[in-house]
Amino acid sequence: MAKTGAADLAALKRAIRGIEQGGYGVCEATPISLDGNAIDAALPWGGLARAGLHDIACGEATGFGFHAGLLRRAAGETGLVLWCRHAGMERETGLPYGPGLSAFGLAATQFVFVRARKPADILWAMEEGLQAGSLAAVVGDGISPDFTATRRLQLAAEISSTPSFLLPPAATGSKTAPLSAALTRWRVQALPSVRDGLHMRWRVELKRCRGGAPKQWTVEWDEQTFCFRLAEILADRAAAG
């Protein structure tokens, strides 16, 4: 009987951990740290899984900041982001505002925008971007794909260790969300500033997390460190319902 090496044992442990978390073999890549504290600790990967699909339910105005913060944490100062948008979203809101991105440490040159009229074309572009393996993140904006489509995106994200974000239409938040293979599902609501008109705060709810439990926090964006931080000591509590 052949000896089992340390590398084989490590691989076996990783596979078992994936099964225990209910995953589909999510590869181990450095997670995306949000706050380096409570939020990261609530996620099974010690941060947001880089090799995964994440659904961020929020209105364009209220949730853009939180999503931009996630992209900054994923892409850093130079990473390239593929942003695939439904044509209807671009007619309503235009492209993300350059000076607004700069508040999150992002440059307009970090983005490649793709506009399509059909959800199927957006999904195709997202999957192609994920399969490339050279992008810092891939975004699907203005679509609510079904389970089969999200399963394909999740698998592509796993293979390339490229994080993918879905931004469903705002109207979807008031309806029953479709089944999804996304590793996490979030709901974001903007909150009034407590210190100045530019300081951004949100109520962030982790609705579903594979291998984790629902929670919610009141979160701020720190423009000095380009990191999220908790706005309240008691914000880290189990989500009601």
What is the per-residue pLDDT across 147-181, written as a single tens digit (0 to 9) for each? Answer: 999 999 999 999 999 999 999 987 654 456 789 99
pLDDT category at 54 given cuts 50, 70, 90 is very high
Query: Which pLDDT tens digit goes with each residue over 188-238?
Result: 998 887 665 457 889 999 999 999 999 999 999 888 888 899 985 444 444
Average pLDDT rounded to a whole number, residues 84-103: 76
Please report where in the chains the tokens 């949000």 appear, as a residue: 34
Q: How far apart are CA 33 and CA 35, in angstroms?
A: 6
For each of the domains in the chain, give its residue range(s) and CATH number, in order of start: 28-169+177-188 (3.40.50.300)
Q: What is the pTM of this model?
A: 0.81
